[in-house]
Every structure is written in structure tokens, then in C-alpha cells.
Amino acid sequence: MGHELNWGLPVISYLFLAGLGAGALTVSASVFLRGGGGGFGNGHFAVARYGALIAPLPVMIGCGLLVLELGSFQTGHWFKWLNLYKTITLSPMSIGTWLLTVFIGISLVYAYTFLPKDASAGDRLEPLRKAMAWIGVPLGIAVAIYTGVLLGAMPSRPFWNSPILAMLFLLSSLSTGVAAILLARALLHKGKRDADVAQSSYLLTTSDVLLIGFELVVIFLFIMFAYLTVGDVGYAVSVILFGDRSMEMFGANLAVPFWLGVVLIGLLIPALIEMFYVSPKLLYQRQFGPPYSVEVIVPVAVIVGGFILRYVVVVAGQITGPIGI
């Protein structure tokens, strides 16, 4: 493979981590603003709290990784990245920089309002919490979308140059955000079960099934349009499809991580397991109570799938280009 990957693991990890954090904030703030309504009952505050405390960290780690990959940083210009703050342009990266900066600030304040051990709905931090949540919902969505727009802005990268990529990243962000909340709850509150917990788990799991469903639709559209298109895009997307084209042209076959990692492990298996446990309650009002192992394994699969999705997309975009010269 003669292609050089200018954006490697740090950027891949960043896209994944920023998406997860943005998704966690959006979900947390949405659930919090919805309050006890919408069926969450008294469990809503706990759900919002998990999301709020999760959100800032992955985004900050991701941004740190981005700085590590900068050419300036690697040649010893440690603080040259501050040049990003001297201007604002229509470059997706410039807009993204400002969005991420605001995001980190807002999500930290939002997390702070949930820090006190006795934090509860209606305490003295409530007005601040509410204000941050109102900003947090659109901000989280903006950060999640921008990561896709960043990649999609270049005709020279036909794999990325698709308006639906940003949509895919948004859905994946929300889905991994929900998964992170479910996982944190399962790990930190092992064995603690009451009606509120069960009810909010049920709602989160149901929304995860929906998100994964939409994600599958978007992936289907992405592949279908590429497959039915001749030229650059068709050629670029062929690297993630099985078949002689991808095997012949590329040393590294991305079809395996895409179909096994993204579609099977990240989407189909979690969705099927979640549906298996959600459907009885949805259809027959039975008790919702998946075993502990499922509560852990399903979110882990969704999160791993989210990472592999970023990996496949970032690598595929860089090993393909326009046909002809």
C-alpha cells in the first residue's frame, strides 16, 4: 500500500471520542430538560447525571490527541496550535475549533452542576444546570455533525465527500453516547434495581434500538448510492465492500472491519439483543430486566462499533482518490 495516512489513530480516536462526548451531552441534556415527563419518572435525573459527568472527558482527551498529531507540535512548536484562536474562517476545522472550545466550557459547567452528592432536581444549581442544558442540546448535535462535515468538505476525497456522512456520524455519536450512559450505569450501580432504574434503562435501550435502526438505513443509503454510481465515488466505496475490486487494489482489506466490526458487532448484534429484551415490554407490558452481562456487553459492542466506524471511514477516505489524472 503506497498511500500515506496523514491522519492516523489520533484523529480516528478523536472523531470517536468527540462523537461519544457530544452524544452523551445531547442525550443527558435532552433527558434532563424533558424532566419527569416522557415516561422517565424519577429516573431522569440519574440518567442526566451520568451523561453530564461522562461528556467533557472524552472530548478533552480527543482534542488533546489532535494537538499531538499536529505537525507543529511534533516539531517542538508546543503552543502554535493557539493560532487557531486568532481567526475564524469558514473552514470546518476553524468552526469546529470554536465549537469544541465552547463545548468543553459548557459541558464542564454542566457537569459541575451535577457534582454535589446531594444534587437533585430543583436545588440551588438548577437554574445554571437548566441554562447549560438548553445550550448543550444544540451544541452536542453541532459537534457531532461537524466531525462529518470536516471530512466531507473535500472533492479530492470521494469516500468522504458525501452529505450523508455527517448524518451517519451524528447518529453514531448519539448511539455511542447512549451506550456510554447505559454502560456507566451498569458498571457503577451493579445490582441496584428499582422501578425507576428499570424504566429509564428501558427507555434508553429503546432509543438506542431506534438510533441503530436509523444508522443502518443511513449506511445502506451511503453504500447503495455509491454502488450505483460510476466513477470516483463508486471506486472509493468499493474498498469497504466484499469483492475482487477491493481485494485486488488494496493490501489492507477494509471490508472485514466494516462488515464484521461496524455492521455486525456495532449495529446488528446489539440491535437484535436489545430488541429481544425490549419487545416483551413494548408489546405485552412485561417486566424489562436484561441480565447484567447483557447490560454490559451490548453498550460495549455499540461503543467498539462506533470506533471501528471512524477507523474504516478515516482510512478508506485516505487510501482512495479520484480516478484518472
- Quote helix, strand, coil % in the chain, to nearest 5: 75, 0, 25
The verdict on 238 binding another protein (CB under 8 A) reads no
Q: Where are the alpha helices (DSSP H) in the chain?
A: 9-34, 44-54, 56-69, 71-74, 92-113, 126-152, 163-188, 195-227, 232-237, 244-249, 255-256, 269-284, 292-319
Binding letters toward another protein, positions 52-81, x by CB under 8 A: -----------------xxxxxxxxx--xx
| 120 touching another protein, by CB under 8 A | no
Q: Does 162 bind another protein (CB under 8 A)?
A: no
Nearer to another protein, 84 or 267 (CB): 84
322: contact with another protein by CB under 8 A: yes
154 interacts with another protein by CB under 8 A: yes
Q: How far is the CB of 15 from another protein (least distance, A)?
A: 13
Q: Does 101 bind another protein (CB under 8 A)?
A: no
Does 230 sit near another protein (CB under 8 A)?
Answer: no
**CA–CA separation, 126 vs 119, rounded Å?**
9
Query: Any contact of residue 94 with another protein (CB under 8 A)?
Result: yes
Of the candidate residues 84, 145, 182, 204, the single one contacting another protein (CB under 8 A):
84
293 binds another protein (CB under 8 A): no
CB of 223 to another protein, least distance (A): 20
Site residues for another protein, 3-62, by CB under 8 A, read 3-4, 6-7
Annotate 175-219 with DSSP letters as a single string.
Answer: HHHHHHHHHHHHHHTTT---HHHHHHHHHHHHHHHHHHHHHHHHH
Number of residues that bind another protein (CB under 8 A): 41
CB 97 within 8 A of CB 66: no
Q: Which is nearer to another protein, 100 or 301 (CB)?
A: 100
Residue 107 beta carbon to another protein: minimum distance, rounded to whole angstroms: 22
Contact 90, 150 (CB under 8 A): no
Binding range to another protein, per CB under 8 A, among 17-25, 91-99, 121-129, 179-187 = 91-99
Spatial distance between the Cα atoms of 141 and 320, rounded to a whole number of angstroms = 29
Among 31-39, 119-127, 147-155, 188-196, the segment contacting another protein (CB under 8 A): 147-155
Neighbouring C-beta atoms of residue 122, cutoff 10 Å:
7
The CA-based dihedral angle spanning residues 230, 232, 233, 236, taken in that order and rounded to the nearest 10 degrees: 120
> In the numeric block, which cell numbers belong to residue 190?
451493579
Q: Which three cell numbers stand for residue 43?
A: 429516573
How far is the C-alpha of 302 from the C-alpha of 269, rounded, in Å? 9
Among 34, 39, 91, 220, contact with another protein (rule: CB under 8 A): 91
Question: Shortest distance, CB of residue 98 to another protein, whole angstroms?
Answer: 10
Given CA atoms 273, 212, 214, 322 in this order, what sign does their dihedral have? negative
Residues that bind another protein (CB under 8 A): 2-4, 6-7, 69-77, 80-81, 83-84, 86-87, 89-94, 96-97, 150, 153-157, 235, 318, 321-325
